[in-house]
């Protein structure tokens, strides 16, 4: 888990030392600025998770510093807690107007100081998660509305064409267009089913346990290989060990990745798919490499969005949801997924798990 970073802004050495001891003992990473100017300079290159700011300082008072922080788009979301010896309503009002989240009156006790810091760190983290979720939801809705609309528009045009051919009593064209409509309806049905799968996966309760990744990769590959007729495939993996995860979701990840590897190597005379594990404490990285169609790395970030495809559906079938599912599952496990490759030279997908 990432360690929260806190900036203490105070020009009193005793206060800095006392506050620093409290925060460090709680496991936080502490930075110190001994003036308002130094604090603003620090924030130009580093963005802490929270700022504890003394109101009375010799160069620039804390309220002015807070105002500058909140007027800067790069720092305005960082919560600021004021330290003050003054308890007058006027000072408190000015502090909140400047944008502070809370204040602590001196002298303070360790428990109060730490409790207020923890509360505002938690609120800040929840706000960031909510912002990210809203951005993801907007992107998701945009992608879904666009990609579901496309087959519907084609079906509408085909139905118009079908009506014309019925009037003209052209039986062959009627059958041909009917088949095309049926195919588009099937495509739409697949997209909706995959969206439902994605939605269920996002909200499913996780049952964490130790998982044998050698067994999971072997069984998922064996099931997928049954669908690959008359192909020459070299599949192998080293010792993959165990990870902590939800078996249903991790199997979904493995199935999607191996399915892609098999799909995008179909044009190879001999498909080569290898799986390896690298241990870099506290991380375990499992990489799946193939020698298939590959892709232009310029578009690698887009591959994990819903309905994103870099190959036409006529060339390689698929819904464009698989890698979005992989990314979401890895996020839910506190891990990450990365992809690299080049056109015509295959792909490597790396799953990073934390112990």
Look at the chain and count its residues: 355
Residue written as token pair 């112990």: 355
Q: What CATH number did the domain enclosing 222 receive?
A: 3.30.565.10
CA dihedral 64, 26, 29, 77 (to 10 degrees): -40
Q: How much is the pLDDT for 342?
A: 84
Is position 29 within any domain? yes
d(C-alpha 85, C-alpha 87), whole Å: 7
d(C-alpha 336, C-alpha 352), whole Å: 5
Q: Which of 149, 176, 203 is the last residue of a domain?
A: 203
d(C-alpha 130, C-alpha 3), whole Å: 20
Is position 246 within any domain? yes
Give the residues of the chain that fall short of pLDDT 70: 1, 136-150, 191, 194-195, 197-199, 201-203, 299, 305-320
Q: How much is the pLDDT for 128?
A: 84
Is position 127 within any domain? no
Q: How much is the pLDDT for 320?
A: 58
Regarding whether 215 and 184 lie in a shared domain, the answer is no
Is position 117 within any domain? no
Regarding whether 146 and 245 lie in a shared domain, the answer is no
Reported pTM:
0.54
Q: How much is the pLDDT for 325?
A: 81
pLDDT digits (tens, 9 = 90+) for 33-66: 999 999 999 999 999 999 999 998 888 899 999 9
Regarding whether 239 and 184 lie in a shared domain, the answer is no
Q: How much is the pLDDT for 312?
A: 46
pLDDT digits (tens, 9 = 90+) for 232-280: 999 999 999 999 998 988 988 998 899 889 988 888 889 999 999 999 8
Please list, residue by residue across 161-177, b when 16 or more beta carbons sit within 10 angstroms of its beta carbon and e when fewer do.
bbeebeeeeeeeebeeb
Residue-range definition of the domain harbouring residue 34: 5-108
Q: How much is the pLDDT for 239?
A: 93
Regarding whether 296 and 221 lie in a shared domain, the answer is yes
Q: Which of 167, 182, 203 is the last residue of a domain?
A: 203
Regarding whether 250 and 196 lie in a shared domain, the answer is no
Is position 113 within any domain? no
Q: How much is the pLDDT for 314?
A: 43
Q: DSSP characters for 98-129? A: HT-SEEEESS--HHHHHHHHHHHHHHHHHHHH
Regarding whether 293 and 244 lie in a shared domain, the answer is yes
Regarding whether 143 and 185 lie in a shared domain, the answer is yes
Regarding whether 247 and 184 lie in a shared domain, the answer is no
Is position 322 within any domain? yes
- What is the domain count for the chain? 3
Regarding whether 45 and 162 lie in a shared domain, the answer is no
Regarding whether 182 and 284 lie in a shared domain, the answer is no
Q: What CATH number did the domain enclosing 17 receive?
A: 3.40.50.2300
Regarding whether 278 and 146 lie in a shared domain, the answer is no
d(C-alpha 262, C-alpha 269), whole Å: 13
Q: How much is the pLDDT for 53?
A: 94
Regarding whether 155 and 73 lie in a shared domain, the answer is no
Is position 123 within any domain? no
Q: How much is the pLDDT for 316?
A: 43
Residue 176 zone, left/alpha/beta (φ > 0; ψ -120 to 50; rest)? alpha
Is position 96 within any domain? yes
Q: Which of 147, 170, 203 is the last residue of a domain?
A: 203
């Amino acid at each position: 888990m990432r360690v929260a970073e806190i900036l203490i802004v105070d020009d009193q050495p005793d206060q800095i030392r006392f506050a620093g001891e409290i925060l460090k003992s709680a496991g936080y990473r502490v930075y110190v600025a001994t003036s308002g100017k130094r604090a603003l300079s620090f924030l130009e290159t580093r963005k802490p998770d929270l700022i504890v700011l003394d109101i009375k300082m010799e160069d620039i008072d804390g309220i002015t510093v807070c105002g500058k922080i909140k007027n800067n788009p790069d720092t305005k979301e960082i919560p600021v807690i004021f330290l003050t010896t003054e308890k007058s309503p006027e000072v408190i009002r000015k502090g909140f107007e400047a944008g502070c989240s809370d204040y602590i009156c001196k002298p303070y006790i360790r428990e109060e100081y730490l409790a207020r810091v923890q509360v505002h760190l938690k609120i800040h983290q929840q706000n960031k998660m909510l912002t990210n979720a809203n951005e993801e939801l907007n992107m998701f809705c945009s992608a879904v509305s666009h990609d579901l609309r496309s087959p519907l528009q084609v079906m509408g045009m085909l139905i118009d064409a079908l009506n014309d051919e019925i009037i003209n009593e052209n039986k062959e064209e009627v059958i041909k267009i009917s088949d095309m409509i049926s195919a588009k309806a099937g495509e739409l049905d697949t997209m909706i089913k995959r969206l439902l799968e994605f939605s269920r996966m996002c909200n499913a309760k996780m049952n964490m346990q130790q998982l044998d990744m050698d067994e999971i990769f072997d069984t998922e590959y064996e099931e997928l290989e049954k669908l690959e007729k008359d192909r020459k495939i070299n599949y192998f993996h080293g010792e993959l060990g165990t990870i902590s995860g939800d078996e249903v979701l991790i199997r979904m990840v493995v199935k999607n990745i191996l399915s892609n590897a098999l799909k995008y190597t179909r044009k190879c005379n001999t498909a080569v798919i290898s799986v390896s594990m690298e241990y870099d404490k506290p991380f375990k990285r499992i990489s799946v490499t193939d020698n298939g169609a590959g892709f232009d790395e310029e578009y690698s970030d887009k591959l994990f969005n819903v309905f994103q495809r870099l190959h036409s559906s006529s060339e390689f079938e698929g819904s464009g949801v698989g890698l979005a599912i992989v990314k979401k599952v890895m996020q839910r496990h506190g891990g990450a997924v990365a992809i690299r490759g080049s056109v015509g030279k295959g792909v490597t997908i790396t799953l990073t798990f934390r112990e």
